[in-house]
Chain A
Amino acid sequence: MNPTNNPTFADQQSSSDVVGKPLVRVDGRAKVMGAAVYSAEHNQLPDLAHAVIKTSDVAKGRITGFDDSAAKRIPGVLGIFTHLNLPPLAQTPSTSEGKKKIALAMQMSFTPLTSDQIFYAGQPVAIVVADTLEHAQHAAALLKVSVVAETPVVSYRDTQAKLFTPTEGAAAQVPAKRGDAQAAFSNAPVQLTLTCQHATNHHNPMEPGATIAHWEAADRVTVYDTTQAIASTHKALYVMLGLPPDNVRVVTKFLGGGFGSKLTMWPHTVLTAQVAKAVGRPVKLVLTRPQMFTSMGHREDQQQTLRLGATKEGKLLALLHEKISTTSPWDNYAEMNSKIVHMLYACPNFDASVKLARANVMTSTYMRGPGEAPGSFAIECAMDDLAYQVGLDPIAIRLLNHADKDPGTGKPWSSKSLKQCYERGAELFGWGKRNPKNGATRQGNKLVGWGMASGSYPVHDAQGNARVRLYADGHALVQAAATDLGTGTYTIITQVAADSLGIAPENVYFELGDSALPTTAMSGGSRAAGTVSSSVFLAAQDVWQKLIKLAIADQHSPVYKAKPADVEAVKGRLQLKADSTKGEAFITLMQRIGLDDLEGVATGHYGSSYESPEATLNTPQAKKDDAASHSMHSFSAHFCEVEVDTELGTVHVTRWVSVVAAGRILNSMTARSQVIGGSIFGIGAALMEGTVRDPHLARYTNASLADYHVCVHADIPEMTVAFIDEEDRYINAMGVKGLGEVSIVGTSAAVSNAIFHAIGHRLTSLPITPDKVLKALRKTQ
């Protein structure tokens, strides 16, 4: 118990009934019946029209004219919009004023259809609206666009590319150096240099980006959008449309995956609102799958070089990380790979740098485990090489360099169970039976390899609000403008609300995905579970505080005239702490005093801005400063077995074990699903995912799901997942670290390390396709 006697959730753990349990998804029935309504499916709107975007095939150039004579003859065409006739926006992120107002709600500062300039292939150059989808598609196809093409820059590898060191933007946020890494590397007895190449990757959520804009009045619009971030999409829209915030409503009830692509708003969303206003009808826009490759960002193509210096025994002395990547003509974005290199192992000397080259591509963006996913590939492959070089087991080298405190900040960890992840993973995988020799385990024409890697992801600061309305009949309405992109938000928040209120989960109705609800954090950077669960838990505490005040003032209550601090709420009962028999159910109290419902609100914090629950309840802030004095991360270990076909060069993952320590796990079943999903995403990145721009035209050559390969059923073996229980009182009221990102971090390295063990060659150019494997195998033969 804390000094103020307001229980934290951790204190209530023994009484938790459904938190942590594998409750079947509360939205699952709607999903398996096809009844869940996604953003493009709000078909009930009157006279709903369809928009189709016409994109540029050319990556650089200037539009000299449009010929819409054939297009406008198509029946049902309501409007053909280009930069010449589209009504302008009040603000765009292209100006400094607009950028300041829109801030991080848009990743790309360029707004299409504002000039005749073409900067990337796939850039929208026109938008056609018609009464049916077929008419809109046909008219868009008939619209002729005349373009004077210029020679584009394709990537950082282009001979025309000019590398520069960014001084502003996300790409400039390099972790602070420590010691003298260059000197320490030069003097290190063991020196390793690892250069990794990463192909462009695309998120490809199964649900394409889609928007329906419905102007209910000339100055009021509801936008049904595929967004992971209700609040920031809402903000971007009202700023760009020049409307009061209350006049814009954003709704996302079901989201078909996102993985970062739906985290910030992209131009097509506001374009839909613009054309809907212009034609005076609700308009639906759904991006085509090829358009998904040029509309909602990607993980940038990049090269990273990690130089690692160590003692002969394998103790790290120096880490030097350099990254080069492609960015757009306007923005300085690069995912920050060096964050994880900075903190994963104890190492006295560290330095990192980032270089960018502008090319004719759209701005890249956050993609599952941004920075940590590729960064972990570099550090975890390098550690594997180091283990091999000094003759240690891959787990032993990691234990030898284990960071007992945050190497970057020197702060203690709020909690860290990485060693337990290694231990449990090794046990589940049977790691002890691993052949210490590389390239030495053969089964027929296959070489078998076992690899492992660590993962970690920071706890980002976030906060959010929630509202809980408890009814005298025993049910509750819980509200927060969160989203559930498949991560299980609907379900885990229902569980938290049920336990916090002492009612059954079927009596909780959790409403999310609407900007009219209390604002909360985006579903990104693994923020949502911790933030939303904490705010709902605290809003429930607010309900209890109000009920306790009513109870002690009611002469018929068993706790009449007790001090508030002497009363507690346990499983829906208000009772004396000293004598639990003196109490009654909240239903009894509320019905007796004629109170139909009672509302509680709260703000939940996540990360270093977290104040303990009692602080939020305006009581002494005993723990207020604890959070900021700790370094907060989740950790994981992944184990992989591969079979490499020596004749075909194909790599098949045949066994997989992930062990994750991420604070409190709110639902063991949905958490497991999220972890296997992250691993499968990482296996895809390791073995098959890569978007290829034509080296002359800078146009994607494989922008489809037939040509951009993601894992399918046949690629994936049975997978084992385990969690290490952690009780972390520093991160948020619920002790939840989140799982979305940490589930992918380290996975690609585990695959590469298994291939290294199988064939005895280190492959660091992703994806590791059969041609690369065969080339390496030929070196042996």
Chain B
Amino acid sequence: MASEWSPGSSSRRTFIKQTTGLAGLTLAPMNQAEPSAPGPTLVQGATELSLRINGRVYSLRAEPRTTLLDALREYLHLTGTKKGCDHGQCGACTVHVDGERITSCLTLAIMQQGKQITTIEGLAKGDQLHPMQEAFLKHDGFQCGYCTPGQIMSAVACIREGHATSDDQCREWMSGNICRCGAYPNILAAIREVASSQ
């Protein structure tokens, strides 16, 4: 690994949450068990990175400015995570990092080394779909499918956060994920069904 540098993670992550419109203030506290960084190191040009995604370690050679989203899509060909705006405004690129939902376009791949990253490709267990994926199928929670990976990742986290206990609460906490086809009522039905069965 070329660098162990990680930014002042608390401020950076708070920034990300606020920018995504997910209002991170009431989210669970930061994982305090992170290894402490050995201090800033200058990284320039393409370097070897190592990312733990869906329980597997991926190595790639990318620049420090490469976003996690572009690393997934363009370097690792994990194209299930979608780019809708590249500015944290649409939620299509939502993934989980250490169990929390983030927009992967607003973070750099290099910053996510050593973290547990889960993408849509890692949600099913082999052929067995995650209950949220099943619920999206059953309730037709999508049309074109382009926002769907982000909706599903956000939905799984939304329940885990305890933000899907009523229809209105769930609508509010899912509002960072835009669906232009307008599948919202169906997505809500899917999430609430999964939430109520847990």
Contact = CB atoms under 8 A, between A and B. Distances in A.
Query: Which of A24, A37, A673, A711 gathers most chain B CB within 10 Å?
Result: A673
Interface string A274-291: 000000000000101100
Query: Which of B66, B89, B170 gathers most chain A CB within 10 Å?
Result: B89
B117 interface: no
Interface string B159-198: 0000000011011101111111111111110000000000
Given A33-B120, A205-B180, A677 B143 contact: yes
Given A33-B121, A206-B82, A207-B84, A704 B89 contact: yes
B83 A208 contact: yes
Given A134-B70, A286-B83, A34 B182 contact: no
Interface stretch (A5-13, A485-493, A494-502, A637-645): A485-493
A254 interface: yes
Contacts of B148: 31-32
Interface stretch (B1-9, B23-31, B33-41, B129-137): B129-137
A34 B137 contact: no
Contacts of A29: 129, 137
B79 interface: yes
Nearest to B147: A206
Given A29-B129, A673-B183, A207 B82 contact: yes
Nearest to A205: B180
A206 B146 contact: yes
Interface string A6-48: 0000000000000000101101111111111110010110000
Given A32-B129, A33-B124, A206-B84, A713 B138 contact: no
A330 B136 CA distance: 45
Interface string A188-231: 00000000000000011111100000000000000000000000
Given A713-B172, A714-B175, A289 B86 contact: yes
Interface in B90-132: 90, 92, 119-121, 123-124, 129
A666 to B, nearest CB: 14
B178 A206 contact: yes
Contact of A680 (B82, B144, B177, B182): B182
A134 B180 contact: no
Contacts of A670: 140, 143
A713 B174 contact: yes
A133 B171 contact: no
Contacts of B167: 718
A681 interface: yes
B52 interface: no
A206 B81 contact: no
Contacts of B119: 34
A212 to B, nearest CB: 12
A716 interface: yes
Interface in B34-69: 62-63, 65-66
A674 interface: yes
A181 to B, nearest CB: 37
Contacts of B180: 203-206, 257, 259, 681, 710
B106 to A, nearest CB: 12
A205 B85 CA distance: 11
A552 interface: no
Nearest to B120: A34
Nearest to B65: A134
A714 B172 contact: yes
B187 A713 contact: yes
Chain A interface bracket (under 10, 10 to 19, 20 to 34, 35 or more): 35 or more
B146 A257 contact: yes
Nearest to B187: A713
Given A713-B184, A714-B171, A673 B143 contact: yes
Contacts of A257: 143-144, 146, 180-181
Nearest to B150: A206
B87 interface: yes
A25 B146 CA distance: 15
A718 B142 contact: no
Contacts of A673: 140, 143, 181, 183, 186
A677 B74 contact: no
A681 B147 CA distance: 16
B129 A255 contact: no
Contacts of A711: 182, 184
A33 B63 contact: no
B81 A34 contact: yes
Query: Which of A25, A33, A134 gathers most chain B CB within 10 Å?
Result: A33
A141 B1 CA distance: 30
A134 B86 CA distance: 13
Contact of B138 (A24, A205, A254, A288): A24
Interface residues of B, number: 61
Interface string A371-410: 0000000000000000000000000000000000000000
Contacts of B182: 676-681, 711, 716
A669 B140 contact: yes
A257 B133 CA distance: 20
Contacts of A166: none
A718 B84 contact: no
A43 B137 contact: no
Interface in A655-709: 669-670, 672-674, 676-681, 704-706
Contacts of B176: 712
Contact of B89 (A38, A205, A289): A289
A716 B144 contact: no
Query: Which of B84, B120, B174, B185 gathers most chain A CB within 10 Å?
Result: B185
A669 B137 CA distance: 11
A177 to B, nearest CB: 37
B152 interface: yes
Given A132-B74, A134-B66, A205-B180, A289 B144 contact: no
A257 B82 CA distance: 13
A86 interface: no
Contacts of A718: 167, 185
A712 B154 CA distance: 14
A719 interface: yes
Contacts of A44: 77
B144 A256 contact: yes
Nearest to B188: A713
A716 B81 contact: no
Nearest to A28: B137
Contacts of A133: 70, 74
Contacts of A716: 171, 182, 184-185
A203 B144 CA distance: 14
B13 interface: no
Given A134-B63, A206-B180, A704 B87 contact: yes
Given A134-B65, A206-B147, A289-B85, A677 B79 contact: no
A706 B89 CA distance: 6
Contact of A43 (B79, B87, B174, B184): B79
Nearest to A671: B140
A698 B172 CA distance: 35
A36 B149 CA distance: 10
Contacts of A705: 84-85, 87, 89-90, 178
B79 A32 contact: no
A50 B75 CA distance: 12
A197 B147 CA distance: 31
Given A256-B146, A486-B142, A716-B182, 5 more contacts: A32-B133, A288-B86, A713-B171, A714-B175, A718-B167
Going nearest first, the 7 A-B pairs with the smallest beta carbon separation are A34-B80, A486-B144, A256-B146, A680-B182, A486-B143, A31-B145, A34-B120
22 contacts: A32-B133, A32-B149, A32-B152, A41-B73, A133-B74, A134-B63, A206-B92, A206-B178, A206-B179, A206-B180, A256-B82, A257-B144, A289-B90, A485-B143, A676-B183, A676-B185, A704-B89, A712-B177, A713-B175, A713-B188, A716-B182, A716-B185
Interface of A: 22, 24-25, 27-38, 41, 43-44, 50, 132-134, 203-208, 254-257, 259, 286, 288-289, 485-488, 669-670, 672-674, 676-681, 704-706, 710-714, 716-719
